[in-house]
Amino acid sequence: MRKQLLYISVTTLLLLSLSLTAKQIAFTFDDAPRQANGYFDGPTRAKTLIKELQDHGIKQAAFFATTSHLNEEGKTRLKAYANAGHIIANHTHTHPDINKTTLVAYLEEITTAHNQIKDYPNFKPWFRFPYLREGDTQQKRDGVRAYLAKNGYHNAYITLNNYDWYIENLLQDALKSGKEIDFEKLKEFYIDVIIQGAQYYDELAVKYLGHSPKHVILLHEMDITAMFVGDLADAFRQKGWQVISPEKAYQDPIASYQTERVMKYNPGRIGEIAKDKGQTKRLWHNTLDETYLKARFDKEVVKK
User: Do the Cβ atoms of 65 and 90 come closer than 8 Å?
Assistant: yes
In a domain, 11, yes or no: no
List the domain range (segments joined by +) for residue 263: 24-301
Single-letter amino acid, residue 301: V
For residue 220, the model assigns a pLDDT of 98
Domain tally, the chain: 1
Question: Is 3 part of any domain?
Answer: no
In a domain, residue 12? The reply is no
List Cβ neighbours of 194 (8 Å cut-off, separation of 6 or more).
Answer: 162, 164, 217, 232, 287
Q: Is residue 84 part of a domain?
A: yes
Q: What is the pLDDT of residues 192-229, one digit of tens each?
A: 999 999 999 999 999 999 999 999 999 999 999 999 99
Q: How confident is the model at residue 272 (pLDDT cuts 50, 70, 90)?
A: very high
Asked if residue 241 is part of any domain, the answer here is: yes
DSSP the chain: -HHHHHHHHHHHHHHHHHHHH-EEEEEEEEEES---BSSSBHHHHHHHHHHHHHHTT----EEEE-GGG-SHHHHHHHHHHHHTT-EEEE--SS---GGGS-HHHHHHHHHHHHHHHTTSTTEEEEE--GGG---SSHHHHHHHHHHHHHTT-EE---SB---HHHHHHHHHHHHHTT--B-HHHHHHHHHHHHHHHHHHHHHHHHHHHSS--EEEEEEESSHHHHHHHHHHHHHHHHTTEEE--HHHHTTSGGGG----S--SS---HHHHHHHHTT--S-SS-TTS-HHHHHHHHHHHTB--
pLDDT on residue 7: 47
**Residue 1 belongs to some domain of the structure:** no
Domain presence at residue 237: yes
What's the CA gap between 191 and 206, in Å, rounded?
Answer: 22
Q: Is the pTM of this model over 0.95?
A: no
What average pLDDT does range 1-13 have in this prediction? Answer: 49
Tens digit of pLDDT for each residue in 70-87?
Answer: 999 999 999 999 999 999
CATH number at residue 121: 3.20.20.370
* Within-domain flag for 4: no
